[in-house]
Each structure stands twice: as C-alpha cells, then as structure tokens.
Structure 1
Amino acid sequence: MNKNRVLVVEDTPSLALAYAQQLEAAGFTAQVAETGAAARALLLSGVAFDAVLLDLQLPDCDGLDLLADLSGITEVTKVIVATADGSIDRAVQATRLGAYDFLVKPIKPARLLTTLRNATQHAVLERKAARERQDSARARFHGFVGASAGMHAVYRAIENVAQSRATVFITGESGTGKEVAAEAIHLSGPRAGKPFVAVNCGAIPEALLESELFGHRKGAFTGAIDNNPGAARAASGGTLFLDELCEMDIKLQVKLLRFLQTGQVQPVGATQPEAVDVRVICATNRDPLEEVAQGRFREDLYYRLAVIPLHLPPLRDRGEDVELIAREFLRRFIEEEGKRSGRFDAQALELLRRHPWPGNVRELQNTVRRSAVMHAGPLYPLDVAGPIQPPRTDAAPSPLPSSDAAQIANDPHATRLVNLSGLTLDEIERLAIEQAIEEAQGNLPQAARNLGVSPSTLYRKRERWQGHGGPVAAT
C-alpha cells in the first residue's frame, strides 16, 4: 500500500476530516492543519510531506500568500491548491508559485485521490532523480574516493547507520578501506566529537588482548606496573573499532559477547564491572559465516555483532574509481616529494584499467607511491611487478641438474628460489616470513595461516626486526 504522507490544510473541520479519511482509506498517511500558521510550523519543522492539499481561504491568511512565503517547499513537495473560487486568475497565480495542480470545491473523492496519487508519485521520482544526480557528483566521502554505483551505495549505507547505536559489522577484502568506513560512520553520527579508538585484534598477542580491550589493575599480572583503562573505556562516549575480529581467540569472544550484552567491562584484576557507553564497529577480511561453520567464531557473537552488515566492494569491481583514486594518490605523493605536477603515461593508464588489483586500494597506493618516488615526471609510469630487488653481489649458484631444472621450470614459485648458503637460521626464517607476507599481499593474518603459525608470532618477529635494518638480501 502507498504510505506517502500528505498534509491537509483546511479550516472547515468537516471537510478536513472527510479529506483525511478518504486519503487514509486509500493508503496515504494524512495530517491536518486548520490554519496557515499551523501549516507553516509543520512544513518548517523538518517533517517530510510528499504532498500538501492547501485551501486558499484560511482564517489567518490567504493560501497563495502562504505558498509564496514557502516557495522552497515546492522543490520537494507537491502542492495542490483547493478553493471554492475557481477563477482563472487564481489558478494562474497558484501555478506561477509552483503549485502542482488546482482543484475547485466541492472536490469529488475520485478526483482528489487521482490527483494526489499522481502528485506523490512525481515527488518520489523527482527525489530519486535528485539523489542520483547528487550521487553521481559525489566522488569523495569521509576519506573515500570513488563515484561508482557500489561506493555510492556504501556512502548511503554509512549515512543511514551513522545516527544509530546499532553494532555494524564491516566485511571486505584486505585493503578495501574497512577502517576508513568505520571512521566515516563515527564522523557522520552524533559521536563525531568523541574518541574513536581502533584495536587490531590480529596485531596483539592473545595473552594481552583482553587487557588491551578491557584494561587491567596494577599488579594484576607480571608486568602490570600501572593501571590500564583499556580501549573500551578510552572510547567512552565514542566508538570502539575492532579490526580483524575473526583473529580473536574463541575464549575471549565469550567476554566480548558479555560486554556487548551488558555494556559493562571488568578490567583484569578488578572485582567489579564498570559501565561503558561506546558504539562498537567490527571488521574482518574473512567470511564470518565460514568462520562460524568452521567453529572458529561463535555463532551467538556473530548474530550479536552483525545487526547492520556493511560490505565493501573490491577495487576490481569499482570500474573508473581505480583511475580516480590513482590520480588522487599521484597528486598527493608528488606534492609530498616536492616534485612538479604530472600525470600518468599511456601505458600506466592502460595498466590501471586491466590490472585486477588483488591488494585493492592498499596495493594501488603503494604502486603509485613507488612511481612518484622513482620518477622525476612530468610523466609517471606504473609497475605492479613488485618492489625493486637489491642487486646480487655474489656469484650465481651452481647450475641445477637437468631433472631438477625441468621440475622448477613448471614451479610457479621458481623465481623465488634463493641460495641459502651462508645465512643463519634466523635469516632463513626471516626470508621465509617476508616471502609469505609478500605472497599474501601484505595480509599478515593470511601469511600466518599459510605458514601455520599465529599472527601474533609474525607481529612479534617483525617488531624485533625493526631495529635491525631492512629485509634480508637473498643471495
């Protein structure tokens, strides 16, 4: 049934009631105002009406004067004027002021309903067209760059959910901008001025994640030399973003579920829970339903979190957004490098269109940054073959037996074979981890799964290596 909203502005109670009853019976939502002042207050209050049935003979004003004063409403609301005075002059005046139609009293029910159905249908179609025009012109939104239909759907979804307190579960491949989406929800809603606290559940060792989320008391465990409020309390009044949520240990998922249900946290070492006012947004690059099916993610927690699911499309499905984003990155990076403005060469533009971008926006960003650093401009080529490898300084390894060479020729990883002689066990391990991370397009949790270790193991090792120079050179 049609649920369009109509405002009936009529000072004769019997007529107002009759019009409202006819409209309600036909499926409309009708509201009555008996004076021009009441109608003005409703129309300026922000209540959205699809149409207004406006009597021209009101006790406190002329309907045409009211229409003239509120001329802006005819851009979004259709106005049908109704009067016992059927002069041509009044009809022309009403039309010039933006009225959709003109009805002469007494108004037959069939005529009234037909006119209002047509008016409200036009109002809906015009709003839809205006929204589509606005969408097509919007290429930037809270950190996102993109004008594709898929991204406009994301922008609208973010705007729709931003005012709510409901939990949002963001899914999408690595590099699609899940944290950008979480920040956009935060910035678009009433908590914009409050803290936004992000926690990467895959980057923190399992033994410390509970403390990082919910806090701890001094002396609660070895190394707890001070009180830690925890991310949930640090985000009080704002938003708590839990990234890589499917990396969370199943035991800690129980405590997270209790926190979501009660709104209370109990720091490690504390005896009493504390109330916290936060909005929770979660994200994962995995398929959460598959994680539930495999027993790695609690089903009750999934349904508690996925009140509002939001999926971000991969870059390969965003059409011309790839070139739009690449140009924005190039402008930004050549400015950072202090170089003159430039553009992509023809081969780079072709590569932007045909490359599948498995690493999504993150891969595109790194590729453009590499070009901005390595070339002087004004033409900037692109190369997605990967980072430049250091030159070899040793003699080439001895030739392999022909049988091994034949096997390697059919091995897709043959180009990654290196001579390990002279390397320590730690250096060999580092080479293996760096290669696994590269093959996983920088996705450490995926690299950890490929290596059969915990993601926290890779994060700890990389932190230990940070103070010991760059990657190990393959010899």
Structure 2
Amino acid sequence: MTLKPDSETILLVEDTPSLQMIYRAALMRAGYAVECCGTAAEGMAAFHRLNSQIVLLDLMLPDRTGLEVMEDILREAPQTCVIVITANGSINKAVEMMRAGAHEFLVKPFDDQRLLAAIENARKALRHRPQAPRDVSAVPVLAPFIGHSPTMLEVYDKIRSVARSMATVFITGESGTGKELCAEAVHQTSARAGGPFVALNCGAIPVDLLESEVFGHLRGSFTGAINDKIGAAAAADGGTLFLDEICEMDLNLQTKLLRFLQTSTITPVGATKPRKVNVRIICATNRNPLEEVRRGRFREDLYYRLHVVPVHLPPLRDRGEDVIEISERLIVQMAREEGHVFTSLAPRVKDLFRSLPWPGNVRQLINVLRNVVVLNEGPQVTVEMLPPDLLADRPTPAPAPEERPQVTMLDLSGRTLAQIERIVIEDALARHGDSVPKAARELDVSASTLYRKREAWEKADRKK
C-alpha cells in the first residue's frame, strides 16, 4: 500500500469492531492513513492529537451521541469535514447533524466506492475551502503566564483543551521557558485541581536515588534507608505527577516507569507487593526527545507512551512584545516587594530587551529585573541600571581560533575520565562567557547537569 502524498490521517470513530475493520481496510487499500477509535472519549483524544481534517463519525456511540462529538469538533476546528455514518432508522438524526454542520452522511450498509467517494468529496471541499485560522486573539491569557503573543495564545488554548482529558502531556522547550508553570496550569485547569501537584526534577537527583524518589522505599531496603519513604508517584495519588528533565532518567528506571504507566501500580524499593495509584503524568525536557530515542538514550516504547499530547513552549526571543509585557508587569511587582517604586522601562531598555537572544529565557529576565530592583530606586529602568554582563549575550562574531587556547589531546593525556570531563566542560563554559545554557547546548547535555557538576566541583575544591 502506498500512502497518498497529500493525505492526512483520517479519524474513524465507530464502536462496532467488525465495521471498523471493514472501513479501515477499504481506506488503507485506497492509500489513506487511518486512526480507529471505538468511543467518543477515544475519538476526541485522537482528534486533539492528530488534528484530523476528515472525521468518519458513527451516529450512535456507547458514551456520547455523534451529534455531541461533532459539535465539540466543529467548535474547536470549524474547517473539519465530518462524515456521519448512520443506520436506516436514524436518517432524520443524520439530517439534523447535516444542519448542525456535518459535511455528508453515509447510510449503512454502503460499499467501498460510496465510502471512498465521500472521502474524496471531503478532500476536494478542503482544498477549495478558504483557510480560516482560529482567532487566537480571543483566547484569554492563562495564569500564571504573562504575554499575548500569538504563539503563547496557542499554548494557552492547547492547555485548556488537554486539561479536560487524562492524556499524558509532554512539554518541550529551552531551559527557563516555564515548563513547570505549564504543567501547573494543566493541573489547575483540570478536574484534578483539588488533588496534589508533585514535581520531580529527574536531572537534579543522583541516579542511584532516583528510583526511591519516584516510587519510594521501605526502611532498611538499602544503606541509609532509616525510615519508610513515600515516593513522588504515591504522593501524587489523585492528582498530577510532573517529571521534569525526563530525558535525564536512567534507562533501567525508564523500564519501571513504563510498567507504572501500563499498570498504574508502584512497587517501592524493598517492597514485595505493588500498590495501585491514580496519577496523571506530565513530563518535560529541554532536549529533542525523538533525537534521544534515535541515540538510544530514551526508550522508544516509553516515548510513545508519554508523547501523547505535545506542548512546545517557545523561547522568549520568539515571543515578540511579550518580553516587554513580562518586564513591566514583574518590575512593578518586584519593586513593591522590595519597598521601591518602579513603573516602566526606558525606551532604550525596551529596544535592548527586544534585541537580546535571552539564552536563559524568562528565568534570565527575572534574574535581571530582580538585580535592577534590589540595587536601584526607580522609577524607570534605564540602561545604566542593567547588569554589566547582560550585553555579553548580544550576538557577536566568534573570535578567531588562535585568540583562545584550545584543549588538546596533550592536555587530556594521563588524566582520569572525571578530570577530562571537568576540563572539557570548563573549556566550553569559558568559550561561551560562562553561559551554562549555551555550553549545555554545545555539549548536548541538560543545563541542570552542568549546574550540578559545578556545584560538586566547588564543594570538593573548598575541602582541599
């Protein structure tokens, strides 16, 4: 079977397995990709994931009516072509659905040619239908985020949509873009808002302790386990578990996380009986998770289990005027906390903020603003008040190689692996003006890993 080059996945929502199999086979023989679902809930979850433009929808489903499902679909994506499948006795209902916005209806039983003709008609309608993008300006800002850029309004809208389901959310974005805020927003907007929200940074916990932190342990299960410990998964029972820096998780623990996702049970370290928990999983990473799968550092089956609804947070440099809106909102709030008075940014500061790459994103911006408020009185933020090293983030031509000493094999010869690691990391930091995010991107590691290693080195140096 060869897929049509311009075809998207057709969503088929039909609760009778035999009919589902027949329709799917006919469509696949014709070169279409098909996603099959048996209930309204599964259908809506697949629709959010696939953004299908053509939906084959059975009129009667076990959990909701086809009319209700179609109304939800068209409310979210009015351009969708919904083809209603109905039995003879339900033609009046099918006509009602046509009036409510269905593209076409098929009366059972129908042959392959009738089905394919309906699909082709829908594809033609989509090609000739004017594209009407959703009016994201009507989407209100979602607290605690700040900013009205189109990219963020799309993020707010997606958070509200996914919050209604139990689907696993996979948040991606550079360090400092607000991935934990996004996870909290999903939790607070969902039906689980009354339950606990437990966040765990997989990159900030030593590998040998991570299993205990996630699943807990019993007293005496290992050296240092002097008491029973409830892990993050049990603490989040009835609520949401947020696993930050998920790509930093050890492969052995990934296997146990996959089993937890499949069975909804946990077995604390040292325990013999599993325990059932009711937890929604949200995870995040500042890496490309699919690239981590290709490199063998992240299990492919776990990736597909977690990567159900992806949410990407854009870097601050791509959010337009949001950098000004965030700054002016926070500068007033921070000044109030410090007993100072700040009301605005000077025009030169606004121009500078718009031009900076902000490698640390919103986290870096908050740090800059806090520095200004603590050390100055106000009322307007001027360029002279900004930290001197802020201008170092402006893009500048890379210095010629001979202008800085390079690490050579001679420097590394005879050293331990730990010493070589430190030399390479410190060299990368020096070349990037001590910018941890930039060095982390070059070395293809998490920024939190570099912060953790630097802290360990500083402690060791103080003991000498």
1:24 maps to which residue?
94
1:446 maps to which residue?
440
How far does residue 25 in structure 1 lie from its aligned partner after superposition?
4.4
How far does residue 410 in structure 1 lie from its aligned partner after superposition?
3.0
Task: Tell me the distance in 1 between the aligned counterparts of 2:240 and 2:365.
Answer: 29
1:63 maps to which residue?
none
Amino acid at match of 1:410: A
- Paired residue secondary structure (2:310): strand
Contact 1:202 1:445 in 2 (8 A): no
Partner residue of 1:459 out of 449, 452, 455: 452
- Paired residue secondary structure (2:281): strand
- What TM-score do the two structures reach when normalised by structure 2? 0.62
2:321 maps to which residue?
320
1:57 maps to which residue?
none
Aligned length: 330
How far does residue 372 in structure 1 lie from its aligned partner after superposition?
1.7
- Paired residue secondary structure (2:290): helix
Measured at CA, do residues 252 and 409 of structure 1 come closer, stay the same or move farther in structure 2, by a change above 3 Å? closer
1:299 maps to which residue?
300
Contact 1:197 1:241 in 2 (8 A): yes
Task: Tell me the distance in 2 between the aligned counterparts of 1:252 and 1:260.
Answer: 12
Amino acid at match of 2:98: F
User: Superposition pairs for residues 1-16 of structure 1, below 5 Å?
Assistant: none
Offset from partner CA, 1:44-102 (integer Å, 9 cap, x none): xxxxx789xxxxxxxxxxxxxxxxxxxxxxxxxxxxxxxxxxxxxxxxxxxxxxxxxxx
Offset from partner CA, 1:199-226 (integer Å, 9 cap, x none): 0000000000000000000000000000
2:400 maps to which residue?
410
> Structure 1: which 5+ runs fail to align?
7-19, 30-48, 52-124, 390-407, 417-424, 470-475
- Paired residue secondary structure (1:386): helix
How far does residue 283 in structure 1 lie from its aligned partner after superposition?
0.2
Contact 2:173 2:179 in 1 (8 A): yes
Contact 1:177 1:312 in 2 (8 A): yes
Task: Tell me the distance in 2 between the aligned counterparts of 1:369 and 1:413.
Answer: 35
Measured at CA, do residues 331 and 442 of structure 1 come closer, stay the same or move farther in structure 2, by a change above 3 Å? farther
Contact 2:316 2:358 in 1 (8 A): yes
Contact 1:168 1:281 in 2 (8 A): yes
- Paired residue secondary structure (1:258): helix
2:161 maps to which residue?
160
User: Superposition pairs for residues 140-159 of structure 1, below 5 Å?
Assistant: 140-159=141-160
Amino acid at match of 1:161: V
2:194 maps to which residue?
193
Measured at CA, do residues 195 and 157 of structure 1 come closer, stay the same or move farther in structure 2, by a change above 3 Å? same
- Paired residue secondary structure (1:242): strand
* Structure showing greater Rg: 1
Task: Tell me the distance in 2 between the aligned counterparts of 1:413 and 1:339.
Answer: 44
- Paired residue secondary structure (1:281): strand
Measured at CA, do residues 240 and 433 of structure 1 come closer, stay the same or move farther in structure 2, by a change above 3 Å? farther
Q: CA RMSD in A?
A: 4.1
- Paired residue secondary structure (1:199): strand
> Structure 2: which 5+ runs fail to align?
1-53, 58-65, 69-89, 103-129, 393-397, 407-418
- Paired residue secondary structure (2:241): strand
- Paired residue secondary structure (2:282): strand
Amino acid at match of 1:28: M
Measured at CA, do residues 28 and 154 of structure 1 come closer, stay the same or move farther in structure 2, by a change above 3 Å? same
- What TM-score do the two structures reach when normalised by structure 1? 0.61
- Paired residue secondary structure (1:194): coil
User: Superposition pairs for residues 370-409 of structure 1, below 5 Å?
Assistant: 370-382=371-383, 383=386, 385-386=388-389
Task: Tell me the distance in 1 between the aligned counterparts of 2:439 and 2:304.
Answer: 23
1:76 maps to which residue?
none
How far does residue 468 in structure 1 lie from its aligned partner after superposition?
10
Amino acid at match of 1:155: Y
2:138 maps to which residue?
134
1:345 maps to which residue?
346
User: Superposition pairs for residues 24-423 of structure 1, below 5 Å?
Assistant: 24-25=94-95, 28=98, 132=136, 134-135=138-139, 138=140, 140-382=141-383, 383=386, 385-386=388-389, 410-411=400-401
Offset from partner CA, 1:317-367 (integer Å, 9 cap, x none): 211111101111211221122112332112101112221222211121112
Contact 2:240 2:279 in 1 (8 A): yes
How far does residue 386 in structure 1 lie from its aligned partner after superposition?
2.4
